[in-house]
């Protein structure tokens, strides 16, 4: 099961093989929930620092926190953390392959919680990073696992349990704390993470711990970017036949990568300024909000707007959706007319160029990002990606016509059947918990009840004009289908 490399094919495919001694790497970073994005982003950056800049303090130990991480655990353990990262540009000759070797160990916490805690307590660990998806921050103190973690400091089950109990142990041992670094698409992800950590810590009724976290731990906010789909068997076969690498879980991604992060690390950090130039695009700043806002309201909101409609139109991949001329018009109008006026100035960024690049990135046919991946967790994505724009536009007395289409398409999708009457399998923990599918099916084409869920839609359920617009979208989608709805909606734009 090890990563097996056929060197002659690797050379032909110009594969970058590890060029440093992994045994020299210390685990400066422990990453919770190792998914594909972590492996295309932070692990890639740390690999560059080790191989191109001889930085040996920033190896990574990955921890799989949930039982779902068992398959990743099996592969990463067998391959000693090594895997192939393949970047594919829009031009089919623009392919680069790199064996990433910064992930020096992997711990599957459900089987070995004591090992996970031990590495979190180790003085070499300076940063604990995480990618737990947008929904991971919807902390529910009544959740059984959270309740378990409040009572069991030696065998946590959740990310928050591990982090807080480890911080407490470091406090008691007079050890420096670690920086807690979120790499998820959540606006002010540092602040949001800090709130979750403090909320959990308060449940332990330990004022010294709370004070320690409040005063000594830092939570840098960051904007992270690199479109990274899930891995398919076709990707495994591609890596095997074209690059000569037998890899159980390679990562395919786009060439573009970006990381804008607050320079706020309580126990040291990698020399990220070494990665400031293109193609790495790392920026250390005191003011990350404008970049986060730009990325979430343009990139993530566009993704969230096109995926449900595109899925209903019968498309499988994001690039197919984007190549539909009507969708391109819709996304451009959404970005230009509704989102851009709500954005603060973003230092050093030409917004027109940024938006053009987004359309090109969405259209990349080689990374094969699926609509279904982007459709996941809509209930956690709408409040972060689209609702702020809608609220802002309504406050200004404007009609967010295209945002209404995005919301209506999601509500139609929640109805549970596509336009061929095939069931849609909803991958959305919060939507399931809130029984949104049942609600969408029961109230169709009404949208008021769903829009009144303030956890998702803030105050939008109190705005009759917006409710009416969304209900018209849902009604049209049921009556005339997605293609015709889109055509009419573009024609009716104010």
Residues that bind ligand NAD (CB under 6 A): 33-38, 65-66, 68-69, 131-136, 159, 184-185, 224-228
* Least gap, CB of 317 to ligand NAD (angstroms): 14
- Residue 303 or 412: the one with the smaller Cβ distance to ligand NAD is 303
* Least gap, CB of 33 to ligand NAD (angstroms): 4
- Residue 68 or 417: the one with the smaller Cβ distance to ligand NAD is 68
* Least gap, CB of 382 to ligand NAD (angstroms): 14
- Residue 70 or 356: the one with the smaller Cβ distance to ligand NAD is 70
* Least gap, CB of 395 to ligand NAD (angstroms): 27
- Residue 136 or 461: the one with the smaller Cβ distance to ligand NAD is 136
54 burial class (0-12, 13-18, 19+ CB within 10 angstroms)?
exposed
191 burial class (0-12, 13-18, 19+ CB within 10 angstroms)?
middle
Closest to 319 in 3D by CA, of 265, 254, 399, 269: 254
Provide CB contacts within 8 A for 284, sequence distance 6+.
261, 262, 263, 272, 273, 276
- Residue 38 or 412: the one with the smaller Cβ distance to ligand NAD is 38
- Residue 134 or 338: the one with the smaller Cβ distance to ligand NAD is 134
* Least gap, CB of 286 to ligand NAD (angstroms): 22
Alpha carbons 328 and 183: distance in angstroms, whole number: 29
* Least gap, CB of 36 to ligand NAD (angstroms): 4
Alpha carbons 282 and 91: distance in angstroms, whole number: 25
- Residue 71 or 268: the one with the smaller Cβ distance to ligand NAD is 71
* Least gap, CB of 63 to ligand NAD (angstroms): 9
* Least gap, CB of 306 to ligand NAD (angstroms): 14
- Residue 224 or 346: the one with the smaller Cβ distance to ligand NAD is 224
C-beta nearest to ligand NAD: residue: 35
* Least gap, CB of 116 to ligand NAD (angstroms): 13
* Least gap, CB of 54 to ligand NAD (angstroms): 28
- Residue 131 or 179: the one with the smaller Cβ distance to ligand NAD is 131
* Least gap, CB of 349 to ligand NAD (angstroms): 17
- Residue 318 or 477: the one with the smaller Cβ distance to ligand NAD is 318
Pairing verdict, β 179-182 and 127-130: parallel
- Residue 65 or 404: the one with the smaller Cβ distance to ligand NAD is 65
Alpha carbons 266 and 218: distance in angstroms, whole number: 6
H/E/C letters for each residue in the chain? Answer: CCCEECHHHHHHCCEECCCCCHHHCCCCEEEECCCHHHHHCHHHHHHHHHHHHCCCCCCEEEEECCHHHHHHHHHHHHCCCCEEEEEECCCCCCEEEEEECCEEEEEECCCCHHHHHHHHHCCCCCEEEECCCHHHHCCCCCCHHHHHHHHCCCCCCCHHHHHHHHHHHHHHCCCCCCEEEECCCCCCHHHHHHHHHHHHHHCCCCHHHHHHHHHHCCCCCEEEECCCCCCCHHHHHHHHHHHCEECCCCEEECCCCEEEEECCCECECCCHHHHCCCCCCEEEECCCHHHHHHHHHHHHHHHHHHHHHHHHCCCCEHHHHHHCHHHHHHHHHHHHHHHHHHCCCCCCCCHHHHHHHHHHHHCCCCCCCEHHHHHCCHHHHHHHHCHHHHHHHHHCCCCCHHHHHHHHHHHHHHCCECCCCCECCCCCHHHHHCCHHHHHHHHCCCCHHHHCCHHHHCCHHHCHHHHHHHHHHHHHHHHHHHHHHHHHHHHCCC
* Least gap, CB of 319 to ligand NAD (angstroms): 14
- Residue 212 or 219: the one with the smaller Cβ distance to ligand NAD is 219
């Amino acid at each position: 099961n090890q990563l097996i490399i056929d060197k002659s094919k690797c050379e032909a495919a110009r594969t970058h093989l590890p060029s440093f001694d992994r045994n020299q790497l210390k685990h400066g970073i422990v990453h919770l929930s190792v998914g594909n994005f972590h492996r295309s982003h932070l692990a890639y950056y740390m690999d560059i620092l080790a191989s191109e800049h001889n930085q040996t303090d920033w190896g990574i130990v990955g921890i799989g926190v949930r039982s779902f991480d068992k398959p990743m655990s099996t592969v990463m353990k067998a391959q000693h953390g090594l895997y192939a990262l393949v970047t594919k540009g829009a031009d089919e000759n623009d392919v680069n392959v790199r064996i990433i070797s910064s992930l020096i160990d992997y711990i599957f916490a459900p089987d070995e919680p004591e090992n996970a805690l031990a590495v979190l307590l180790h003085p070499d660990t300076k940063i604990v990073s995480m990618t737990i998806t947008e929904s991971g921050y919807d902390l529910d103190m009544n959740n059984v696992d959270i309740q378990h973690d409040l009572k069991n400091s030696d065998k946590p089950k959740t990310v928050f349990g591990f982090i807080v109990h480890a911080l407490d142990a470091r406090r008691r041992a007079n050890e420096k704390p670690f920086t807690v670094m979120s790499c998820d698409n959540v606006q002010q992800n540092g602040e949001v993470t800090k709130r979750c950590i403090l909320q959990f810590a308060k449940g332990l009724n330990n004022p010294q711990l709370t004070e320690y976290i409040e005063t000594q731990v830092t939570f840098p906010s960051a904007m992270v970017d690199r479109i990274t789909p899930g891995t398919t068997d076709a990707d495994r076969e591609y890596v095997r036949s074209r690059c000569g690498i037998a890899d159980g879980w390679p990562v395919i991604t786009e060439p573009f990568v970006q990381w804008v992060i607050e320079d706020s690390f309580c126990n040291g950090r990698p020399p990220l300024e070494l990665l400031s130039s293109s193609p790495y695009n790392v920026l250390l700043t005191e003011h990350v909000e404008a970049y986060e806002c730009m990325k979430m309201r343009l990139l993530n909101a566009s993704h969230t707007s096109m995926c449900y409609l595109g899925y209903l139109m019968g498309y499988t991949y994001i690039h197919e959706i984007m190549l539909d001329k009507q969708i391109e018009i819709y996304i451009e109008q959404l970005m230009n007319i509704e989102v851009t006026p709500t954005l603060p100035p973003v230092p050093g960024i030409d917004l027109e160029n940024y938006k053009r690049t987004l359309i090109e990135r969405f259209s990349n046919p080689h990374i094969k990002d699926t609509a279904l991946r982007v459709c996941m967790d809509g209930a956690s994505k709408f409040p972060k990606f689209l609702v702020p724009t809608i609220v802002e536009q309504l406050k200004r007395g404007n009609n967010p016509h295209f945002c209404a289409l995005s919301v209506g398409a999601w509500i139609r999708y929640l109805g549970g059947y596509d336009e061929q009457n095939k069931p849609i399998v909803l991958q959305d923990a919060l939507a399931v918990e809130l029984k949104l599918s049942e609600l969408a099916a029961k109230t169709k084409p009404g949208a008021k009840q769903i829009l009144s869920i303030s956890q998702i839609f803030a105050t939008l359920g109190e705005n009759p004009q917006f409710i009416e617009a969304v209900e018209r979208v849902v009604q049209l989608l049921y009556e005339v289908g997605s293609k015709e709805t889109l055509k009419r909606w573009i024609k009716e734009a104010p």
